[in-house]
Structure 1
């Protein structure tokens, strides 16, 4: 390969890695929040909603929006002390401000008529993935009547400057209809009378958007593609990754497995570096033969020892990535068919984007290798080096909280 072509390859691939990696947060799933809402019949024509909101975010957002400095002082002191009783007391002492903020950002309507909210009981305190959450129950009186209720959420918007991309996960069982919905800034509302395919699209879109915006998962996928020598290897690697993350995704989202994000996120970063580094090691060890199969294995898959070992590594790291996907969706309720449906559709969205990336990138890589083996090695080598570097940087940042 000529010097000019080599420089072009290095420049282009380095630019791609820089575009994908630089400026991204150390925690690809951080700087966001998830609100959980359960909607049920409240009796006598009312709708009851139970909201769970991240406590410290709720405190600072309410204090800022309602100009309640005393809530900020008492709430943050209770948060820093880790005292749940004090946290609940701070909210209950300033319930007028807290309820006002929540009902300005969250609403229920019947037809074209807004429903009126009234708090039921006091604020309660709970915990999700080691983070304090405040519970707020509201009864909504809907003068319009009818059963076409709509739920809208604009809680913790980007404009507040505290988090980005807040999601509201809603489960409902009202008027003989049950299901779930995912709300965000682009899709802030839904109707309880929505069709099954509208619910399908919401969670499919959420899964697709998560993979597209989850830069660490994309880099892991690029590392898999760069290190695959034959179409069967990338197919098997992608299948192994899918099976693994589907298992832990379902178990974690259903609350069977609970691993802190402080462990999951650094291991995801390490997996990126290891899978990318694997290909670099093969290039260093075998030079121009790095893309050759050493000895064809027996059996249907015809993988050599290196192929099977890599498949096992990918499967193990896929288990960890599944925990990251589950954390992004943030559902950890008891088993239900409605919940299972939502999880499966979310996963289908993830897989669709993953297969689309493979279908676009891997044929280009195969074509490049066939035209020039050296150019193919340089391209995959530079990609792997950039991905491995980003993985190591993220690993250090996530391990030490930088």
Structure 2
């Protein structure tokens, strides 16, 4: 029981940080998407996807180069959670290279927008536009530094916007006590999700996104069940938590791959983008662990007497959330 009581400050620290991370990463969770594709016939297909829910009075609109003229009227599709608008423009004779594409109204809407441009020669240019920088310039060739910077940032945003990933890492902090074993366990988790992320990007592994999300929630639930058991029992997961973390890391890597596919990869710099995204995920993960441990240290020095039932709050919180995700994602998979 004393060991479980030590988890109370850790739980408070982690839950507070997850809430902050979710709020800070809210833009990356439901961004608008502007997809622009140059065709072989000289016309350009524009697809604009936004959330059906928006702040009253806000309105976001794509901004295309002045040379682009509409040749096919917009078609609006209501997809429930999102609204999709498609239309065709002609940007000849200059085309899109060297031009600016952006989104107006991001500040009032409090969202970011992902801009993805596929040029006629097959090159992919992408970037995230924000209220303070609402335009993306289409370069002759994307600079590797820009690719590195953007994908590191997207990796950080992806993991901080994923409560299931953060709760799993939090569960590892509850399961493992010694610093050396914690380092081994987190490293094994990193290796696991890096392997499947890389394999999925190069199409060596194919798993439907809905199934991957379900498997991730199951991994969190299994960890919660282990945490609820008698900590003095030498189970395999407690004796070799690094092995469990490596196996479940493989599942979480599938989730990261789904997020990376949704973002898109620059055709000429896939290895750089993949490496940068992985680095971003690790930066976010290590930052989460460091801040949680720092907050725990601070809370442990606050004079407070916790009730005995508080020792079970972190474990049951993880279990209840994981069970909910399992039911929710099973239902989504069956649709």
TM-score interval for Structure 1 and Structure 2 normalised by the shorter chain:
0.5 to 0.7
Give the counterpart of 1:221 among 159, 166, 169: 169
Query: Aligned-pair distance for 1:352?
Result: 0.6
1:212 partnered with 2:121: no
Separation in structure 2 between the aligned mates of residue 397 and residue 309 of structure 1, nearest angstrom: 31
Deviations 1:261-280 (A, max 9, x none): 33222222221122233233
Deviations 1:17-53 (A, max 9, x none): 38847xx8xxx9997467473555979xx7x644456
1:106 partnered with 2:75: no
Deviations 1:238-277 (A, max 9, x none): 2222222222223334444332333222222221122233
Separation in structure 1 between the aligned mates of residue 96 and residue 48 of structure 2, nearest angstrom: 29
Give the counterpart of 1:168 among 114, 117, 120: 114
Q: Which residue of structure 2 lines up, in the alignment, with residue 319 of structure 1?
A: 250
Q: Which residue of structure 1 lines up, in the alignment, with residue 125 of structure 2?
A: 180
Give the counterpart of 1:274 among 222, 231, 249: 222
Separation in structure 2 between the aligned mates of residue 152 and residue 31 of structure 1, nearest angstrom: 19
Query: Aligned-pair distance for 1:137?
Result: 5.0
Query: Aligned-pair distance for 1:354?
Result: 0.7
Given the superposition, is the C-alpha separation of residues 213 and 14 from structure 1 closer, same or farther in structure 2, using an over 3 Å criterion? same
Query: Aligned-pair distance for 1:281?
Result: 1.7
Separation in structure 1 between the aligned mates of residue 321 and residue 116 of structure 2, nearest angstrom: 35
Q: What SS is found at the alignment partner of 1:237?
A: helix
RMSD: 5.0
Match runs of 1:169-318 below 5 Å: 169-172=115-118, 180-186=125-131, 188-193=134-139, 195-283=143-231, 285-286=232-233, 306=237, 309-318=240-249
Given the superposition, is the C-alpha separation of residues 199 and 270 from structure 1 closer, same or farther in structure 2, using an over 3 Å criterion? same
Q: Which residue of structure 2 lines up, in the alignment, with residue 358 of structure 1?
A: 289
Q: What SS is found at the alignment partner of 2:199?
A: helix
Q: What SS is found at the alignment partner of 2:269?
A: helix
Separation in structure 2 between the aligned mates of residue 342 and residue 350 of structure 1, nearest angstrom: 12
Q: What SS is found at the alignment partner of 2:89?
A: strand
Give the counterpart of 2:90 among 122, 139, 143: 139
> Which residues of structure 1 form unaligned runs of 5+?
62-100, 124-130, 287-293, 295-303, 370-374
Query: Aligned-pair distance for 1:138?
Result: 3.4
- Look at both structures and tell me which one has the larger radius of gyration over its CA atoms: 1
Separation in structure 2 between the aligned mates of residue 214 and residue 255 of structure 1, nearest angstrom: 23
Given the superposition, is the C-alpha separation of residues 219 and 15 from structure 1 closer, same or farther in structure 2, using an over 3 Å criterion? same
1:344 partnered with 2:295: no
Query: Aligned-pair distance for 1:223?
Result: 0.8
Q: Which residue of structure 1 lines up, in the alignment, with residue 260 of structure 2?
A: 329
Q: Is the 8 A contact 1:152 1:188 kept in 2?
A: yes
> Which residues of structure 2 form unaligned runs of 5+?
54-58, 76-81, 301-305
Separation in structure 1 between the aligned mates of residue 129 and residue 106 of structure 2, nearest angstrom: 10
Query: Aligned-pair distance for 1:148?
Result: 3.0
Query: Aligned-pair distance for 1:116?
Result: 2.0
Separation in structure 2 between the aligned mates of residue 37 and residue 250 of structure 1, nearest angstrom: 24
Separation in structure 2 between the aligned mates of residue 351 and residue 396 of structure 1, nearest angstrom: 29
Q: What SS is found at the alignment partner of 2:205?
A: coil
Q: Is the 8 A contact 1:29 1:328 kept in 2?
A: no
Separation in structure 2 between the aligned mates of residue 224 and residue 382 of structure 1, nearest angstrom: 16
